[in-house]
Copies of this chain bind each other. A is one copy, B any other.
């Protein structure tokens, strides 16, 4: 099967089904047209027009966050936002810009707000060649239970920096000590936009690689990963190619790894489409 199918699935998005969500002149999200209807009930917070939804300029960070939060509470009660995670993501116009307000993680897809995550490829290079540490997600995870995952991955919550998130997740998910995670190297990012049942995921995943010592064995401490396996990198990519065993967006991170390490080569018919497809423009 084609590696490109994973890129296509993560970019399965029909613009005509969505309205841009604006705050002032800046687009900050994407609201499905039927969801926009549900926002008409909150005219003091959202102005719903035929071509856009506008978040009213209610006030500062705290005022905006509180106003949107009250709407989210109602959407949760209505069953339009699936759960109340009590974990917040920052909403801003672009990476690095000051946050405009914070939004419950459970409502990110409803509002189609861009979310940022960090994924860590942990590898060993020795006489056995290049091998990757791959986790199997716990069977009780809400998203992608039992699927294979990177060594470490997590969303970047409001108030946390990228590296702080990486170090925290590395400690909790893989028991990586602080003096090891500092060796992780930022190697780029993967971006995609996909429709989901809840709305749209407009995701950027920052990617790090780390070469871990051969005696390092990851050990999960937060119950999110059931087991870790050290697999030949070529076998991992075969698995990406031939199966649906891997969490949907982790396939993209692994294809990016394969492209950067020469495991997928220009002989691949879709080589250039893969490279372009992993880096959706951030419009």
Contact = CB atoms under 8 A, between A and B. Distances in A.
A27 interface: no
Contact of A282 (B185, B188, B273, B278): B273
Contacts of A272: 94-95, 189, 191, 204, 282
Interface residues of A, number: 29
Contact of A185 (B94, B191, B262): B262
Contact of A279 (B185, B187, B275): B275
A188 B258 CA distance: 10
Contacts of A266: 95, 162, 186, 189, 206
A276 B280 contact: yes
A260 B191 contact: no
Nearest to A273: B282
B282 A186 contact: no
Contacts of A162: 266
Given A260-B260, A281-B276, A282-B276, A271 B95 contact: yes
Given A276-B281, A276-B282, A187 B95 contact: no
A240 to B, nearest CB: 17
Interface in A239-283: 259-262, 265-266, 269, 271-273, 275-276, 278-282
A18 B214 CA distance: 56
A269 B185 contact: no
Contacts of A265: 186
A189 B261 contact: no
A59 interface: no
A15 interface: no
Nearest to A279: B279
Contacts of A282: 272-273, 276
A96 interface: yes
9 contacts: A185-B261, A185-B262, A186-B262, A187-B260, A191-B276, A204-B272, A276-B280, A276-B281, A278-B279
